[in-house]
Amino acid sequence: MISRRTLLATAGLALPLVSACQPHSAGGVLTACDVHRDGYPTVTAVKWLGEALSKETGGRLSIRSYPSGQLGGEDDTISLAQSGVIDICRANAAALNNAFPLTQVVSMPFVIQNDDHLHRVLDGPIGQEILDGFAARGLIGLASYDAGGRCFYNTQRPIETPKDLHGLKIRVPQSDVFIDAVGAMGANPTPLGFSAVYSSLQSRLIDGAENNWPTFETARHLEVAHYWSQTQHSYSPEFLMMSAKSFGQLSQKDQELVRELAKASVPIMREAWVKTESESRTKALAAGTKVVEVNKAAFKAVCDPVNAKRLNNPDVARLYAVIKAMV
Domains of the chain: total = 2
pLDDT at 327: 85
Q: Quick one: average pLDDT of 41-58? A: 98
Is pLDDT at 111 greater than 50 in this prediction?
A: yes
Q: Cβ atoms within 10 A of the Cβ of 58, count?
A: 8
CA distance 280 to 104: 27
pTM for this prediction: 0.90
Residue 107, domain member (yes or no): no
Same domain, 47 and 77: yes
Rounded to whole angstroms, the Cα distance separating 247 from 36 reads 24
| Tens of pLDDT, residues 192-209 | 989 899 999 999 999 999
At 198 the three-state DSSP class reads: helix
Q: What is the CATH number of the domain that holds 87?
A: 3.40.190.170
51 and 160 fall within a common domain: no
pLDDT tops 90 at residue 12: no
249: in domain: yes
- Residues 240, 91, single domain; the answer is yes
Residue 271 lies in a domain: no
Residue 5 pLDDT exceeds 60: no
| Cα(135)–Cα(150) distance, integer angstroms | 28
| Residue 108 resides in a domain | no
Domain that holds residue 215: 150-235+280-325
Q: What's residue 27's pLDDT?
A: 61
Q: Which residues contact 75 (CB under 8 A, 6 or more apart)?
A: 95, 174, 193
Cross-strand pairs, 251:
none
Residues constituting the chain: 327
Question: b/e map of 202-227 (b: 16 or more CB within 10 Å)?
Answer: eeeebbbbbbbbbbbbbbebbebbbb
